[in-house]
Amino acid sequence: MAKGKVITVAQQKGGAGKTTLAVNLGVTLMRDGLRVAVIDTDPQGSLGRWFMTRREARDDPGVEFATASAWGVNYECEKLRNAADVVIVDTPPKADADLRPALREADLVLVPVASSHVDLWATEGVLDLARRAGKPALVVLNRARARTRLGAEVAAAAAELGAEVAQPQIANRVAYAQSLGDGLGAAEAPGAAPALRDELAALAALVRARLEI
């Protein structure tokens, strides 16, 4: 059996939506029939809290979960690669030595950028570390507001950083935060909007194409 692929979700600035992206991509890939594992390396533990809430609500959470220090991520990734098709690593908001082990394990680095120039400025350090590690990076515009001048400026500026910018954008929807607190992916929530499901499906398809899975 082929070993699973590792996706590292990284961003220097806090509040960019790393955990939201990790959860919703993981759940979407799971719903596509892939075996998914998630690793929480952020001391804040938001991904772990989401998983425990999910585990309490259902017999089978549908995803594997592990937690690790920055320097323990190598061991957890090695173990989970043998049990899952995709391993998603949620990292703390920093771009320094603590992030490098998670980048070394990555087959793909996802960098969420909210629609603000401040978020974009914080992205340069992560992209630089990914380049030094020789890892492909994909910038994902998160909490995007459709047809706004700021959103278009951020998308254009992100492309100028030399990284690929995902065409599927994650819109600014209350459902993402609400479902996280319920231990769900937003696409699983009752009454999830078709447009929400479509944007997550498009992002998952792009990621699968990049990882060839």
Q: What is the pLDDT of residues 65-101, one digit of tens each?
A: 999 988 899 999 999 999 999 999 999 987 677 889 9
How remote is the C-alpha of 179 from its chain's centroid?
16
Helices (H), the chain: 18-31, 46-57, 73-81, 100-105, 117-132, 149-160, 174-181, 194-211
State yes or no: pLDDT of 147 exceeds 70. Answer: no
Compute the half-sphere exposure of residue 90: CA atoms within 13 Å on the CB side of its CA: 30
pLDDT of residue 210: 96
Return the higher-pLDDT residue of 71 and 31.
Answer: 31
Hey, how many other C-beta atoms are within 10 angstroms of the C-beta on 6?
27
State yes or no: pLDDT of 168 exceeds 90. Answer: no
What are the tokens at 161?
């950083």
Return the higher-pLDDT residue of 153 and 95.
Answer: 153
Q: Which of these, 155, 162, 13, 175, lies nearest to 94 by C-alpha position? A: 13
State yes or no: pLDDT of 114 exceeds 90. Answer: no
**What mean pLDDT is predicted for residues 113-120?**
74
pTM: 0.93
pLDDT of residue 164: 84
How remote is the C-alpha of 119 from its chain's centroid?
16
CATH class of 5-204: alpha beta
pLDDT of residue 95: 62
Instruction: Give the pLDDT band (50/70/90) at residue 167.
Output: confident
pLDDT of residue 65: 97
Burial class (CB in 10 A: 0-12, 13-18, 19+), 37: buried
